[in-house]
Amino acid sequence: MPDDTITWRAMLAETAQVVADRTSALWLCQRASGYDAEEFMGELDNPVTSRSATHLHDMVRRFIGGEPLQYVLGRWAFRRVDIMVDTRVLIPRPETEMLVDLVLEEVRQKPGSTIIDLGTGSGAIGLAVLDELPLSHSTVWMTDVSRDALDVASANVAGLGRPGISARLVHGSWFDALPVELKEAVDVVVANPPYVEDDDPDLEERVREWEPSLALFAGPDGLRDIATIVSGCNQWLRSDGLLLIEFGSRQGDAVRALAIDAGLCDVEILQDLAGLDRVLRARTSH
Ligand code: GLN
């Protein structure tokens, strides 16, 4: 090995010092190497190519500049899907994964279902649903008001391969994006809408600085978009259709009241893995 080359083991140690975090250093080195996690462990005593070193230095520079690791890596895992992410979309969060279980539980025994992922962002929810259903089992409409987000979602649909044929991407604000033929024909509406209060003092600085405001903030009480979805869903869901919405951990009572006011039935507030109020589940009764 020539003198100017270093092994991945040495590069990893050096990176861990620079970024002061061994786990992030491992992610960054793996990504720069082009190997998957398992392969990378077998490469530790092999030399780092200059191309990988350049890629790594660029990522380390962004990471120590404060950019979230997920954006620096350019992708993040959501359930079984590797989702491409950048600053055009929210980073998929673990608490959102439960929405996918709730959709699957509803439609697994109902082939031919129509599912709407409203405000899809990166496409994480809709694509994870398609990935875990048999091929062509159900159709998932994915909407977003942000054309930038739809570009990311569309790249992720392509990345999913064959299950992606059942995805339909449409542009527009909430239900306005949908074709009228879907009125009262939808089995499930699922959404992780913006729900952060505009001036929320608890919001992490890194989130506020880097993630798209459009995907985060929903007015002084954070309920603006949830209210729109709850009141609009009656026109689109079929009778006994299911509504699933993620919300902020302090919004449970307000969200329950919105659902009851809209005439929805079987209204439930479900907790996430941390035991915090997180998801509204309700049904249409018309
Ligand atoms: N869970 C996100 C956060 O607080 C917010 C996501 C959202 O508004 N949908 O960081």
Mean pLDDT of all residues belonging to the chain: 97
| pLDDT tens string 111-170 | 999 999 999 999 999 999 999 999 999 999 999 999 999 999 999 999 999 999 999 999
- Measured in Å, residue 193 CA sits from the centre of ligand 1 at 8
| pLDDT tens string 240-272 | 999 999 999 999 999 999 999 999 999 999 999
pLDDT over 70, % of the chain: 98
pLDDT of residue 3: 52
- List residues bridging with 47 in a β-sheet: 7
| 50 & 103 share domain | no
- Measured in Å, residue 208 CA sits from the centre of ligand 1 at 10
d(CA 106, CA 104): 5
Would 170 be classed as within a structural domain? yes
| 265 & 224 share domain | yes
| 172 & 118 share domain | yes
pLDDT of residue 47: 97
Q: Dihedrals φ, ψ of 246, to 5°?
A: -80, 145
pLDDT of residue 224: 98
| 126 & 264 share domain | yes
Would 99 be classed as within a structural domain? yes
| Residues 267/88, Cβ–Cβ less than 8 Å | no
Per-residue confidence at 5, pLDDT binned at 50, 70, 90? confident
pLDDT of residue 2: 55
Q: Among candidates 218, 245, 217, 249, which has minimal Cα distance to 231?
A: 245
pTM: 0.95
- Measured in Å, residue 14 CA sits from the centre of ligand 1 at 34
- Measured in Å, residue 215 CA sits from the centre of ligand 1 at 8
For ligand 1, atom 9, the nearest C-alpha belongs to: 194
For 21, residues 6+ apart whose C-beta sits below 8 A from its C-beta are none
Instruction: Report the interhelical angle of 50-64 vs 8-19 (nearest 10°).
Output: 10
pLDDT of residue 202: 94
Best residue among 78, 85, 93 to mutate for probing ligand 1, ranked by most atoms within 8 Å of CB = 93
CATH of the domain at 204: 3.40.50.150
Domains in the chain: how many in total?
Answer: 2
Collapsing DSSP states into helix, strand and coil, what is residue 123? coil
| 152 & 28 share domain | no
- Of 65, 90, 106, the last residue of a domain is 65
Closest ligand 1 atom to residue 90 Cα is 6
Closest ligand 1 atom to residue 218 Cα is 8
| pLDDT tens string 70-110 | 999 999 999 999 999 999 999 999 999 999 999 999 999 99
- Measured in Å, residue 246 CA sits from the centre of ligand 1 at 9
| 125 & 211 share domain | yes
Q: Which two tokens stand for residue 224?
A: 């603006």
Q: Where are the alpha helices (DSSP H) in 43-93?
A: 50-64, 69-73
Closest ligand 1 atom to residue 95 Cα is 1
| 135 & 177 share domain | yes
| pLDDT tens string 198-224 | 999 999 999 999 999 999 999 999 999
Residues in the ligand 1 pocket, defined by CB under 6 Å: 93, 192-196, 207, 216
| 45 & 104 share domain | no
For ligand 1, atom 7, the nearest C-alpha belongs to: 194
Which structural domain range is residue 235 located in? 77-283
Would 14 be classed as within a structural domain? yes
Best residue among 91, 216, 250 to mutate for probing ligand 1, ranked by most atoms within 8 Å of CB = 216
Q: Is 194's pLDDT higher than 60?
A: yes
Would 72 be classed as within a structural domain? no
- The residue behind tokens 């309700």 is 282
| 205 & 261 share domain | yes
| 87 & 14 share domain | no
Would 70 be classed as within a structural domain? no
| 44 & 123 share domain | no
Would 1 be classed as within a structural domain? no
